[in-house]
Structure formats: structure tokens, C-alpha cells
């Protein structure tokens, strides 16, 4: 079963602004170790950090199919996705365990951030007739 784990952070100054270089290094090393462990267990599919929301764009097709590009995300968003993992695990409980590990990544002073991680199973395509 594949799951997407989305790291959600509150809107405002980007999460690591003001962190010491050691705090940033500690968090990055934690993420590398998590990914290394997932790869060793055959659970890793992909993981990426995303740019800040002020660099996001909303794209919609015009009537002629050309892209209409506007700034995004929507101003009323209170949180944004800072990064994600795609994992392949036997069940939701294992996805939840991995999400909890991602949530506990260290912040300033090494204290766990315990940030929300949204867990969503990847849907299967409908059967073809």
C-alpha cells in the first residue's frame, strides 16, 4: 500500500528562519537518516522538500488549453505543505509509525517539533472494462 506523508507547517515566516546552523544541520541529518532507514526497509518511494508558498503558482487551463498562471496558494491558507514522502508499506499502521518519526524531527535546541504530518493512502485506479 502506498501512502503520501505531507509535512504541514503554519503560514508565516518560513519554518527554519532564525534557526542556528547547528539546528538546521541536526534537522537535515535526521531527515537523511529517516530516508536511509526507509530505503533499507524497502519502504521509500520518494521524498522532497518544497519551496515556500510565495513561490507557488496556481495553473488553470484557458478555453484554448493554454495555461493561465496566477500567484498561489490562496491567501486564506493557514498552513502549507513544506515537503512530502511517498512510502510503500503493508498497512496504515506502519504509515502512521513513519509519520510519527517524521513529526518528531528536531527543531531549535534539538527539541522535537512534533509537527502535523498528513497521511493519505494513494488511491487505486478504477477497474477498466
CATH label of the domain that carries residue 110: 3.30.70.1060
User: Residue 10's pLDDT band (boundaries 50, 70, 90)?
Assistant: confident
DSSP states along 78-118: SEEEEEEEEEE-SSHHHHHHHHHHHHT-B-GGG-B----EE
Determine which of 2-16, 51-65, 97-111 has the lowest per-residue pLDDT on average: 2-16
On average, the pLDDT of the chain sits at 88
Ramachandran area for residue 95 (φ above 0: left; ψ -120 to 50: alpha; else beta) = alpha
Domain that holds residue 65: 2-121
Residue-wise pLDDT tens digits, 14-31 = 567 788 999 989 999 999
Tell me 18's DSSP state: T
Count of structural domains within the chain: 1
Q: Give the SS3 label for residue 55.
A: helix
Residue-wise pLDDT tens digits, 39-90 = 999 999 999 988 877 788 888 899 999 999 988 666 566 777 889 999 999 9
pTM across the whole model: 0.82
Listed as own residue / partner, the contacts of 24-31 with beta carbons closer than 8 Å and 24 or more positions apart are 26/106, 26/110, 27/105, 27/106, 27/107, 30/105, 30/106, 31/102, 31/105
129 located within any domain:
no
59 located within any domain:
yes
pLDDT value, residue 126: 80
Amino acid at each position: 500500500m502506498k501512502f503520501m506523508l505531507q509535512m504541514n507547517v503554519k503560514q508565516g515566516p518560513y519554518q527554519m528562519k532564525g534557526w542556528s546552523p547547528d539546528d538546521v544541520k541536526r534537522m537535515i541529518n535526521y531527515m537523511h537518516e529517516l530516508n536511509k532507514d526507509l530505503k533499507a526497509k524497502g519502504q521509500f518511494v520518494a521524498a522532497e522538500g518544497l519551496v515556500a508558498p510565495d513561490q507557488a503558482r496556481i495553473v488553470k487551463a484557458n478555453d484554448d488549453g493554454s495555461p493561465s498562471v496566477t500567484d498561489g496558494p490562496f491567501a486564506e491558507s493557514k498552513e502549507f505543505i513544506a515537503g512530502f514522502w511517498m512510502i510503500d508499506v503493508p498497512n496504515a499502521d506502519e504509515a502512521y509509525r513513519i509519520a510519527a518519526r517524521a513529526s518528531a524531527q528536531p527543531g531549535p535546541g534539538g527539541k522535537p517539533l512534533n509537527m502535523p504530518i498528513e497521511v493519505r493512502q494513494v488511491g487505486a485506479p478504477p477497474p477498466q472494462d
